[in-house]
Each structure stands twice: as C-alpha cells, then as structure tokens.
C-alpha cells in the first residue's frame, strides 16, 4: 500500500507531523503532471458539500512560473479512476495557483520543507487569495506521493485549517486552461 493511501485514516496530529517532517519537492519532477488528490480529515458534511477526490496540476508557464489549477472530479470513490467533470467539453477547473519556494512566505512554523501553492498569485475570489498550501514529499527523493495542508494568511498571521490532502501522480497534463496561459 502506498504511503498516501495509508494516511487516509490518519489523525490530524499525524498529518501535521508528516508535513513538518516531510521531504523537499523538486519542482521539475512534478511539472507537466496532474496528481489525484484525496481530502483527509474533513467532516463528512464538508466533504459532501465540496469533494473527497480532485486533481491538482503543475504546469510550467512559458515565462518560467510553475502554475496549476484544481480539476473537479466525479465522486466515484477514492480508488476509482479520475474522471473530470466537464463544462462545454473542457475539464471543470477551479482556483488556479502559482507554486513557489517557501522563502519569504508567511507560514506556520515547520511548514517550510517543500513547495507552496499560493492562490493569491492567480485570479481567484478574494477569500481564496488568502489560502496557501505547503506541499511535501512523503518519501525522500520521490515526488510521486505528496502531502499538503491549507492555511490562511490574514494580516500577516497564519491560521491553520483541518484541510489536509494527499496527491498521487496520475497522468501527464493534456489540457491547459486559458486562465493560466
């Protein structure tokens, strides 16, 4: 069983420990790929209102920035193949982001081991622009399985959320939305 799948029933304390003790993520190792995400530790009602599975993508913009977006999936089960929801024939995407190094980014202590998904560096609703997701690798030297958590920055203060997620490498990106081009 993969490390990511073993974490599906982990406590928030265990997930936080894994973030703090996580391993660096090589940006070049994730660019060009979609990762299947699984939300962890959220109350059932929140999952029903949002999603349990999703995709996060990592695409290198021609100007050099590492960009990405979330893809809504049909909720066919955590072990089912990824099946994107579509609108007008294209995958339904939400909340584009830029992926950056943690240097100079306000974050909870110990969350600086990997990369940071920064929703404030892309066109998002005001409340989403406050969110950041640090990402760490679950195994040293491998970017196939990642762990992330969301926190918000308000007035320079970091507020942790219970929103943890795993990412498992799924497939090469086959669609790039206009919002990040």
Q: Is 102 helix (H, G, I), strand (E, B) or coil?
A: coil
pTM of the model: 0.94
Domains of the chain with CATH codes: 3-173 (2.40.128)
Per-10-residue mean pLDDT, the chain, length 181: 92 96 97 97 71 95 97 95 95 96 94 95 92 97 97 94 95 95 86
Residue 40 Cα distances to 14, 16, 28, 102, 147, angstroms:
11, 11, 26, 23, 10
Q: What does the alpha-carbon distance between residue 172 and residue 53 come to, in Å, rounded to a whole number? A: 18
Q: How far is CA 54 from the centre of its chain?
A: 9
What is the distance between the alpha carbons of residues 69 and 78, in angstroms, rounded to a whole number?
20
**For residue 30, which phi and psi values (nearest 5 degrees)?**
-105, -15
């Amino acid at each position: 069983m993969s490390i990511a799948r073993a974490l599906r029933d982990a406590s928030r304390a265990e997930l936080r420990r894994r973030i703090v003790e996580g391993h660096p993520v090589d940006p070049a190792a994730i660019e060009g790929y979609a990762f299947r995400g699984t939300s962890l530790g959220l109350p059932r009602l929140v999952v029903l209102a949002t999603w349990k599975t999703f995709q996060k993508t990592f695409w290198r913009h021609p100007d050099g920035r590492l960009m990405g977006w979330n893809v809504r999936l049909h909720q066919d089960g955590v072990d089912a193949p990824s099946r994107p929801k579509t609108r007008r024939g294209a995958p339904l995407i939400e909340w584009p982001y830029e992926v950056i190094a943690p240097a100079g980014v306000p974050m909870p202590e110990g969350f600086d081991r990997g990369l940071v998904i920064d929703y404030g560096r892309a066109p998002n609703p005001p409340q989403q622009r406050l969110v950041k997701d640090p990402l760490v690798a679950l195994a040293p030297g491998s970017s196939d399985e990642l762990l992330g958590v969301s926190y918000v920055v308000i007035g320079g203060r970091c507020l942790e959320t219970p929103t943890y997620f795993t990412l498992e490498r799924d497939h090469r990106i086959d669609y790039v939305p206009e919002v990040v081009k």
